[in-house]
Amino acid sequence: MAHRRVLLVLFVAGVCSLGAVSGLLLTTSNGVIYDGDGNVVKFKGIGWFGFNSYFAAPEGLWQGADSVTQDFNINVWRMKQLGFNAIRLPFRFTDFEVNPIQVKHQCQVAPSLNVKYTMVPDSYPNLPLSSLSLPAEDVPDVPGGICSAQFLDNMPVYDRYLMVVKYYINQGFYVNIDYHTSDPDERIHDFNTFVSNWTTLVTRVLTEIPEAQGRIVLDLINEPDGFKFAWEGNQFIGSLADYYIALMDAIWPICPDCLFLGEGTGATSIGANYGDGYVIDPHAIQYSGVSDASVFFNRLAKKPYLSQFLVAPHIYCGEVTGATYGTSGSVLYQKLTTTFGYLTLQGFCPSDGSPCHRFAAVVDEFGSMFNSQEEQSCFRSIVAYMNNEIDAADGKHSMIENWFYWSWQPDSYGTGGVLADDYRQIEWFKVNALSGGTTYMPTGLGLRPWYLADFTPLQPIGTPAPPAAAPSANPFPDMPPADPVMDCGNDTVTYFGNCTDGSAVNSGQLFYAGTASELAAKSEKDQIIIKTVVPVGGAFLVAAFVALAAWTGCFGAKAAAAKAAAAPAAAKKYPGAQLKDSTKTGAYASSGPIPVSITASVGR
């Protein structure tokens, strides 16, 4: 049950905790988000759709070959390792009433090391690295080989959505509950029913998930332009101002800790994206026909939940919008300042002369395919504007440090996903664009994956945080420093073997044969260790232990990936070992072994 708080205004000498003063577990002040302890909160979020598309679950849990892609808990674990701390979960009320589809199923369980190796980037950004060679957090188990087991076949979709919200919160995420539909939804035209549906949802969340207090933000209407909303109202639908005020009037009394995300509208005539449009500039209103947002902000300024409202624009490049002009540089910056940026610095000054209010902003959707010079230039400009840096520092807006990247899965038009088309590989160039430290994206937006020194692991609710990993002086964190005791000389060892197709590898089978005499091959919990004796210079030398995870790159005959993955294993046994060559012989078939040879130069 949600507990109603008495809101007190305290005047205290000196510096104090905003959260403690306000009594709120999540609120804003002067454009910054704070938690109940007065700590600054920065949303580094990702969107995962499905409850708004008839799927009755997060989309994609049936893709791929094994638990890496098909298990819900492992997907969440992967998001955590990439540094995301917030999730945007689109839904629509009509989907809560559809018949649930089957999601849980018997699946091929990938060994934990295999899962962890999917999180090793193909290149590291030029940022301080941690001392870790793989993610430290344990991979979730898949009991009985049942992927996404919590999605019971007969569980109503409404309950499934609440279950997903609860799981994310318990894993330490903030959750963006996002009303989001691309199809005509006539229910939104029934004003009272729409408000009632929202109130019921929030009541259920707080009643059934008490730990949700201070962890949820409510995205009231995704891209109001799609419903032809205007701030003032029109012949198509009522006033967006009326909708937002009515929703917050109804929800705030039961959830004073909730943050409300209100997307903009009515500014497409000046090139704004759907969801961006908080224009109050008289010239733009008079000559460009944009909707006047002041009718909303003047009403909001008098409400007790003023500090709970955040502007939440969407910003996209031409691949999504179709725009061919004004998607980068000064033209883009000027447009963004007019449509919402001014609210982050000057703020809104009510017409009755009451104090101006500076708003916190969350870029609620953005993303790119990065598939052209125009797209890359556009994304760099978006990052520059959000960071208030270089030529985007116009003195008219503040830095914007809260965002939700779109999207997790790859089948989103115009953006793709952080996951590649196979739902398994990570699009590391997108992760690097968010973390920075690359030539094409030097600064990024503050995302900190597990391999960076300032990565902060999310902790399940109620568990103490472990000590952070110390920064590493080793420029290659997946290759441990040489053991000063061992001296292996400078001999060359060649491993000959057969790597089966992906299903066989993932089931723990690795066929290994060649000129070496095999001494032992045994299965352990997460790996197969193969010990081989190889004649070198008239003597016998024990070859490196090769973890099963090191061979996952054989799938699809990706011998180059096998070479990179085998380097850590070789280095652990032979300090300083460097793999000089990796070759494939024979042709890849959909089944059967793939002959692979890897040659390593052994010695420091």
pLDDT in tens, 537-558: 322 222 222 332 233 333 223 3
Q: Which of 390, 446, 334, 394 is nearest to 43 (CA)?
A: 446
**Average pLDDT of span 254-273:** 98
Q: What is the DSSP string of 306-374?
A: GGGEEE--B---HHHH---SSSSHHHHHHHHHHHTGGGGTT-B--TT-PPPBPPPB-B-B------SHH
**CA distances to 45, 216, 464, 598 from 79, in Å:** 9, 18, 20, 32
Average confidence (pLDDT) over 480-495 = 31
More confident residue, 461 or 452: 452
pTM of the model: 0.77
Q: Is 53 left (phi over 0), alpha (psi -120 to 50) or beta?
A: alpha
- The secondary element (H helix, E strand) that includes residue 246 is helix 240-251
Q: Which domains does the chain have, with CATH numbers?
A: 41-435 (3.20.20.80), 492-601 (no CATH)
pLDDT, one tens digit per residue, over 310-368 is: 999 999 999 999 998 999 999 999 999 999 999 999 999 999 999 999 999 999 999 99
- CA-CA-CA-CA torsion sign (455, 459, 465, 469): negative
Q: What pLDDT does residue 166 have?
A: 99
* Mean pLDDT score, 136-159: 98
Rounded distance between C-alpha atoms, residue 92 and residue 97, angstroms:
10
d(CA 399, CA 384): 9
Cβ atoms 261, 216 nearer than 8 A: no
∠ Cα 47 136 532 (to 5°): 120
pLDDT of residue 481: 32
Contact 167, 174 (CB under 8 A): no
Mean pLDDT of 223-232: 96
Mean per-residue pLDDT, 234-262: 98
Q: Which two tokens stand for residue 533?
A: 């004796």
Q: Inform me whether the pLDDT recorded for 153 exceeds 50.
A: yes
Helix (H) or strand (E) holding 302: none
Round the average pLDDT of the chain to a whole number and report it: 80
Helix (H, G, I), strand (E, B) or coil at 74: helix
Q: What is the pLDDT of residue 186?
A: 76
**pLDDT at residue 463 in the model:** 61
**DSSP codes, 505-546:** HHTT--B--SSSEEEEEEE-SS-EEEEEEEEETTEEEEPPP-
Give the percent of the chain with pLDDT over 90. 70
Q: Does the structure show a pLDDT above 70 at 564?
A: no
Question: Higher-confidence residue: 582 or 375?
Answer: 375
* pLDDT at residue 54, as a whole number: 85
Task: Report DSSP letters for 253-287, one per residue.
Answer: TT-TT-EEEE---S-GGGTPPTT------HHHHHH
**How many residues belong to the chain?**
604
Which percentage of the chain shows pLDDT scores above 70?
73
Residues 62, 63, 65, 71, CA torsion sign:
negative
Strands 309-311 and 259-262, by their bridges, are parallel
Task: Return the pLDDT at 512.
Answer: 31
Cα gap 175→533, rounded to integer Å: 53
Average pLDDT score over residue span 286-305: 98
pLDDT of residue 461: 84
In this prediction, residue 22 carries a pLDDT of: 66
User: Which ranges constitute the DSSP H helices of 55-190?
Assistant: 67-70, 72-81, 112-117, 157-170
